[in-house]
Amino acid sequence: MNCSRPVRPNRRGATLVLVALLIVFIIGICAFAIDLGYIMLVRTELQNAADSGALAGAGAMVQGQDAAEEEAVIFALLNDAPDRPLSADNVALEFGEWDRELRSFSGGALQPSALMVTVSSTTQPFFFGRVFGNQGFTTQASAVATFQPRDIMLVLDYSGSMCFDSQLRAIDRLDQSAIEANMKEIYQELGSPTFGKMQWKPVYIASGTNSTVKSTLGLTKVAYPYPGGSWDDFIDYVQDDNYLTKAGYHKKYGYLTWINYLQAEQGSYDDTPALVNTSEQPVTALKDATDVLLDELDENSPDDRVGVAIYTAADGTAILENELTHDYDDVSEVVRGRQAGHYDPYTNIYDGLRVGREDLEENARPGAKKILVLMTDGQANKPTSTSIAKKKLLAEAQVCADKGLPVITIALGALADTDLMQEVADITGGTFFEVPGGSSVNDYEEALIEVFRQIAADRSLQLVQ
């Protein structure tokens, strides 16, 4: 029996054909992957350019749209590739608003708070796509940057010392003639009232009896004009006050020494309500600086909210005068409607900070940046004593730190406790500003306004799209 193995067919030619087809397919896949990767690379570069331009432009919006456009283009072009340069023609800008609830951008806002930057490429050639008739591609990337809204709590000093610079006690720090000119301004703002025979320039009356002084001044039958104080109390003050003696006004009676008496002895709203509309210093500088802050926010950060807590209240603690609000006019009205020593002459910084912090915790928006601005011109002396007041303030600063609430502190004038304000800022991760007293009210008012401008402009940017 002849047994032989079957003859196998020769398939070498078929295998070569299959390999050839697979190689073409693999090369095609590789070519596609290379071109796709190149597209993604270009798109990533454009996205980096758009992100940088949007952030830079949004950050410059506070300086106006022209400045924002310039910064956006400059920073977008800094992110081009050496072999794929961009020009200003590749960058498109649109100002508008970002709706945080809908997470959408809309252009054309009258007061824009967001900027969209779109960066497009010129035609980029394919590496392998041209084999299939596709010569190149264009792509683009967009980014929207806006400001993180802020909830800002102002904790302001309305203690009695906030009118010291409008009194003769400040002559060791400020020019006496400037102080007296300010006091005359206050007298005129009170309506330039006339009582008996008194004149602006004080006159010396040697007698120590109140009845003789009142008779000489023609005040015997003149009713005292305000709820707090009396002519007898005014006379006693002029005879006994060391600051008047130092300034050369011992036993000198006139409207100048009377204005000094009103502020030093009868400064609260209950005692002399008319002082609220006068140019007491430094409280008026604080009011002016706060209005500058509010104007800056209204123009550039209308999504921010502001609240006001002041120290010290009538019960010796503090009072929340304004909950967080978008109504900047209400805030200004409250700030301007309080005078030095409005409720109480003492300085309870701890309770002011506590009240402000509690409102932020209760009412601040979840997505907002929360900030406390703490300002004082003096020394903490409530509750109880200076040493206890400082300890409680530092303990409250630690509470703020634990809750992630930075405190911006401002020490105004030579009498402010700068070391304490610095420590509060350091504990909470905030910023400390010192505004020295200077030689005139104008000096420190301009410096204080500049601090409030910096606070208004220090906004956190966010890429939201």
Name the band, by pLDDT with cuts 50, 70 and 90, for residue 428: very high
Cβ atoms 392, 125 nearer than 8 A: no
Q: Is the pLDDT of residue 20 over 70?
A: no
Q: How far apart are CA 268 and CA 127, in angstroms?
A: 81
Q: By mean pLDDT, which of 68-72, 117-121, 135-139, 254-258 is the weakest?
A: 135-139
- Give the chain's end-to-end CA distance (angstroms, integer): 86
- Name the DSSP class of 428: H
Q: What is the mean pLDDT of residues 434-442?
A: 80
Looking at domain 151-162+279-463, does it have CATH number 3.40.50.410?
yes
Neighbouring residues of 125: CB distance < 8 A, sequence distance ≥ 6: 135, 136
pLDDT value at residue 16: 63
For 407, phi then psi, to 5°, come to -120, 115
pLDDT value at residue 459: 81
Give the Å distances, CA to CA, from 338 to 162, 252, 342, 423.
11, 30, 6, 28
Give per-residue pLDDT as tens, 90-108: 899 999 888 877 888 888 8
Q: Which comes out higher in pLDDT, residue 248 or 13?
A: 248
By percentage, how much of the chain surpasses pLDDT 90?
64
Q: What is the mean pLDDT of residues 192-209?
A: 96
pLDDT value at residue 342: 97
Q: Is the pLDDT of residue 398 over 90?
A: yes
pLDDT value at residue 462: 79
- Name the DSSP class of 282: T
Give per-residue pLDDT as tens, 308-319: 999 999 999 999
pLDDT value at residue 134: 62
pLDDT value at residue 90: 87
> For all residues of the chain together, what is the average pLDDT?
89
Using the CB atoms, write b or e for 38-73: b if 16+ within 10 Å. bbeebeebbbbbbbbbbbbbbbbbbeeeeebbebbb
User: Nearest Cα to 283, choosing from 156, 179, 410?
Assistant: 156
pTM of the model: 0.78
Cβ atoms 5, 94 nearer than 8 A: no
Q: What is the mean pLDDT of residues 209-229?
A: 97
Using the CB atoms, write b or e for 302-331: b if 16+ within 10 Å. ebbbbbbbbbbbeeebbbbbbebeeebeeb
pLDDT value at residue 243: 96
Q: What is the mean pLDDT of residues 74-83?
A: 79
pLDDT value at residue 261: 98
Q: Is the pLDDT of residue 214 over 80?
A: yes
Q: Is the pLDDT of residue 113 over 70?
A: yes
Give per-residue pLDDT as tens, 323-370: 999 999 999 999 999 999 999 999 999 999 999 999 999 999 877 889
Give per-residue pLDDT as tens, 220-259: 999 999 999 999 999 999 999 999 999 999 999 999 999 9
Q: Which comes out higher in pLDDT, residue 465 or 295?
A: 295
Question: 178-187: which pairs have CB atoms within 8 A and are 24 or more residues apart?
Answer: 178/440, 178/441, 180/256, 182/279, 182/281, 182/441, 183/256, 183/259, 183/260, 184/256, 184/259, 185/278, 185/279, 186/259, 186/263, 186/275, 186/278, 186/279, 186/280, 187/255, 187/256, 187/259
Q: Is the pLDDT of residue 14 over 70?
A: no
